[in-house]
Chain A
Amino acid sequence: MSAEIAHAHEHEHARALPPGVRPPVSNHFEDLEQQEETEKLGMWTFLITEVMFFGALFTAYTVYRSLYPEAFMLASSHLDWKLGGFNTLVLIVSSLTMAMSIRAAQTNKRNLMLVNIVLTALLGATFLVVKYFEYKSKYDLHLMPGPTFDVAAFGEWGPQARIFFSIYFAMTGLHAFHMVVGLILMGWVFVKAKQGHFTPQRYIGIEISGLYWHFVDLVWIFLFPMLYLLGAHVHGPAH
């Protein structure tokens, strides 16, 4: 098994690597270019599965939204659009810092890259903290679907409002889970960046992590108006 593998690595050895870092090409690839293209396509394919994963929930939302528009508006007015809006801003800025960290990797600015990775992670964490307080207040107000759900609060639309909150918790919960995965990913990216794995020649790891981060961000960009801004806030009940 060794001869042809050594051969595959041959022209890679010329590239200077920090001590202790493995040659970047796995031995089932011909060259670095093939490996990077493969990794990138892998991430894009994974994101397609994610689109379908969330897609089913978007379908459920669309069906019930069109069946019970009044109930959805009423229930939506119980969400805090200011917190949701703040979180939207947080995520958009985190996408910016993510993009800047990749740019810093491309231009070989190691410290800038590390700072931006940390900022991205901090913004992600901020999002989750805000989300926690939102969830907590929903739980306290008995708006969490389940045995404690306060059906009476919505008058005749009680059961339908519960469906709204079911979808709200399923979608934002799934999104929050993806944020947690994103934070773990940022931890991995940080360690790798610190070890000097990302160079202007090879920054695929941080690049495809960025793809994931932007995707999760994008899901929220759809969730925010769909769940928080149904038009009821203009005249709906205040908190």
Chain B
Amino acid sequence: MSSTTHTPPGQSREAHASAASEERSTYLTDGYGWKSWLLTVDHKRIAVLYLISISFFFLIGGSFAVLMRLELATPKGDVVDAETYNRLFTMHGIVMIFFFLVPSIPAVLGNFLVPIMIGARDLAFPKINLISWYIYVVGGLITLWIAISGGVDTGWTFYTPYSSTYSNSQVAMTAIGVFITGFSSILTGLNFIVTIHKMRAPGLTWFRLPLFIWAQYATALIMVLATPVLATTIFLLGLERIFRIGIFDPTIGGDPVLFQHLFWFYSHPAVYIMILPGMGVMSELIAAFTKKRVFGYSFVAFSSLAIAILGFMVWGHHMFTTGQSPYASMVFSVLTMLVAVPSAVKVFNWTATLYKGSIEMTTPMLYAVAFIGLFTIGGLTGVFLGIMAVDRHVHDTYFVVAHFHYVMVGSMVMAFLGGLHFWWPKMFGRMYPEALGRFAAIIVFVGFNLTFMPQFIVGFQGMPRRYHVYPEEFGVFNLLSSAGASILGVGYLMPMLYLPWSLKWGKKAGPNPWGAKGLEWTIESPPITHNFHGPVVVDEEAYAYGEIPHAPKFVERPEEESKVVR
């Protein structure tokens, strides 16, 4: 296994000339040809490849949402017909979940930061890392092809027997696309687990790890344990669809509820794949912008694992209304409420970290503060839904839609944007425009709440999800929601424009523009291909913000005396 990228000689002359002023070699200047990117095994370059691809899918998934909100702005079906609307919400869900949210923080920020934060030169399996990106791309291309050729209308949950027997859309191809993409996430998870176990620098014990690493580790556990079950479920669905094998089809002896069990056994833990990495980013942001150690470090660390473990035992709360035994539902209900405990531990501890901290309201911190509030709302409404009686009332209504958007968009996307702004100078060596960043963060916050807060209300009033028409009485709230969505869209477009702009015109960033702690801030921005110039030894806790916040405490030993003892 070789993990270096070599510049093909001659091919990169021109590019070199333009960057001649930049003398220091970084991972970005280590090769310029397309091969040096598409065949790279550098975790940082793969993170950039992922960043580009997930941004692309975010735009695609977002454009489906735009069409949906356009349709829902008025009670009548005047933009699209029911069939098209079904395909829109399905494609929105599939693209956003499998191609944006699941890979977002792990594959972009995690790929970039996990090796650096633990003092390693790369992930344990650099080639597998590259393969996982290619798998993602293949799955993505299949999904794009489906979107172009008519889409799929089953909802992202593929419930049988509709998906297996009755739907006239591209179910089999979509199943193949999702199946393939799953392996990308399995391989990322596998890489992270092995890397975090085996590649930590000497002195970097588990309880000295940044909390981002703990969150990534917990996420990787879920990816590795849950995603294969999705693969098998989708595999069986494909067999059912193509060969009519009868395993999920009630008309020929099968049990469609088994599909739901298997599907949610993956898809509920998958919700935590989508939120845990965001929580990891939160801990880093809060510590960096309060200049304090995260309150109750070990509680926050273990709460990630607790969420990962409990997350495997609550899938039945998606099935309270599908004929599941009421006793099973009771158990699932209690376990669901238990998940709120480690989640609350995190929220309380972040809030406690703010206390007497030296708070700087930079753009990433604005996103972090937004996360705390929005995640609290999203999490607590999750407890509402975990109560069987309440779920009877609001099942399949906009209340559910609003709930999971508060967690997925209000929390995870906020954390992703916060993390992206926070580590942007590290990734590309340039600062984003701060004033514009703060402005965009506020726009996103306002737009988000205007979009989804009304959905809680109409949902509680009984408006069902997944219909393109609705009674007049829900009109005001839907109009508000559509108006909010347009504000939210502007908020998302702003970073998509000023972040690329900053690559060329942004202020140059030093190694540690935030005065933050952590191994990634001890190296140059952007880092060299092998991250560190010499062996790394860690001799202090995470977030050791002492009296003098800028004093470097990580010791990089000179090479001569580096006898690394493991």
Contact = CB atoms under 8 A, between A and B. Distances in A.
Contacts of B566: 30-31, 33-34
Contacts of A63: 255, 258
B124 A42 contact: yes
B426 interface: no
Interface in B1-17: 1-4
Given A38-B198, A163-B254, A56 B190 contact: no
Interface string B525-566: 000111011110000000000000000000000010010101
A53 interface: yes
B205 interface: no
A159 B246 contact: yes
Contact of A146 (B199, B244, B247): B244
Interface of B: 1-4, 25, 30, 120-126, 186, 190, 193-194, 197-199, 224-229, 231-233, 235-236, 239, 243-247, 252-255, 258, 261-262, 265, 528-530, 532-535, 559, 562, 564, 566
Contact of B253 (A56, A163, A167): A163
B190 A49 contact: yes
A26 B3 CA distance: 7
Given A1-B528, A38-B194, A48 B225 contact: yes
Best-buried of B252, B529, B559, B566 by chain A (most CB within 10 Å): B252
A7 B532 CA distance: 13
Contacts of B2: 26-27
Given A26-B1, A52-B229, A159-B252, 10 more contacts: A1-B30, A28-B123, A29-B199, A31-B566, A34-B198, A38-B199, A42-B125, A146-B245, A162-B245, A166-B246
Interface in A51-83: 52-57, 59-60, 63-64, 67-68
A170 B566 CA distance: 45
A145 B245 contact: yes
Contacts of A45: 190, 193-194, 224
Question: Which of B121, B125, B227, B262: most chain A Cβ within 10 A?
Answer: B121
A37 interface: yes
Contact of A27 (B3, B239, B253, B559): B3
Contacts of A14: none
B194 A50 contact: no
Interface string A1-20: 10111010000000000000
21 contacts: A1-B4, A1-B30, A4-B530, A5-B4, A27-B3, A28-B3, A28-B120, A41-B193, A46-B190, A48-B224, A53-B229, A53-B232, A55-B229, A56-B236, A56-B262, A60-B236, A145-B243, A146-B244, A160-B253, A163-B253, A170-B239
A216 to B, nearest CB: 15
Contacts of A3: 559
Nearest to B257: A63
B194 A42 contact: yes
Contacts of B253: 68, 159-160, 162-163
A49 B562 contact: no
Contacts of B126: 26, 28
A147 interface: yes
Nearest to A30: B564
Contacts of B235: 170, 174
A229 B193 CA distance: 39
Contact of A1 (B227, B239, B255, B530): B530
Contacts of B121: 27-28
Given A1-B4, A26-B3, A52 B528 contact: no
A45 B123 CA distance: 15
A145 B244 contact: yes
Contacts of B246: 145, 159, 162-163, 166
A71 to B, nearest CB: 9
B44 to A, nearest CB: 12
A42 to B, nearest CB: 5
A167 B239 CA distance: 11
Query: Which one of B197, B198, B262, B529 has the greatest number of beta carbons of chain A within 10 Å?
Result: B198
A67 B255 contact: yes
A41 B191 CA distance: 10
A167 B120 CA distance: 44
A28 B236 contact: no
B530 A5 contact: yes
A67 to B, nearest CB: 7
A60 B562 contact: no
B316 to A, nearest CB: 14
Given A1-B530, A53-B232, A162-B245, A7 B562 contact: yes
Nearest to A25: B1
A177 to B, nearest CB: 11
A59 B262 contact: yes
A60 B258 CA distance: 7
B239 A166 contact: yes
A164 to B, nearest CB: 10
